[in-house]
Chains A and B, each alone.
Chain A
Amino acid sequence: MNQKNSKKMAKKKANKRVVSKKKVETPYFIGLNDPIEIRKNLLEPTREVIQFLQSYEQFKKIKEEKTQTILQLKEDFRLIKASINALRRQLPRGKIKLEKPSENIKEEVQKERKKPVKKTLTELDALDQELGNIEQTLGNL
């Protein structure tokens, strides 16, 4: 019991020393001009940041809507293309190809054989090919 009491007493003394040291340290303050203005200048940016976070959500929605609308436009173009193809099929096909000399045809066939055949065509490759065909047809007209 005596030992415990003596330990407690020692702790209390140590605490008192710490407190007395803290009391000795004199804090220094720096006066700031126009504190209201400072507070105002810190609160306003906070408000702006909160407003930004709110508008960001709105922006995200607009962006998502735009992505959906772009996909819709792609679909619109696909439908237009399908309709134009349907119209082309409905109209009679004229003999628009000019007869070429047999030598030229042989050369073209050889060139085509030399071309490497792509095994997998992406959507972009397919569009390139289609565009090439249309340009060739237009060139022949």
Chain B
Amino acid sequence: MDKMPVFVKVEEYDDVLNTMDTIKNRLEAAKATLAKINQLKQEEDSQLQNWQTALSEIENRISSVDQLLHEPEKF
């Protein structure tokens, strides 16, 4: 059963090859689209990381101000 040969008519063979080319081209296009999604995801991740850093920085500075407010100058 699995070794049965497949015969294609000569006049349809070109169509089959053309369809194969189309599939290959569309696969390449899908690969490019996926790569773009990946790149955009990396940009998003990078932006989130930046926000994380900025938030930590703000927290540190506010904490520093808080500390200074609780330690008034002594005369």
Contacts and interface: CB of A to CB of B under 8 A. Distances in A.
Interface of A: 30-34, 37-38, 41-42, 44-45, 48-49, 51-52, 55, 58-59, 62-63, 65-66, 69-70, 72-73, 76-77, 79-80, 83-84, 86-87, 90-92, 94, 96, 141
B51 A31 contact: no
Interface of B: 1-2, 4, 6-8, 12, 15-16, 19-20, 22-23, 26-27, 29-30, 33-34, 36-37, 40-41, 43-44, 47, 50-51, 54, 57-58, 61-62, 64-65, 68-69, 71-73, 75
A41 B61 contact: yes
B19 A90 contact: yes
Interface of A is mostly: helix
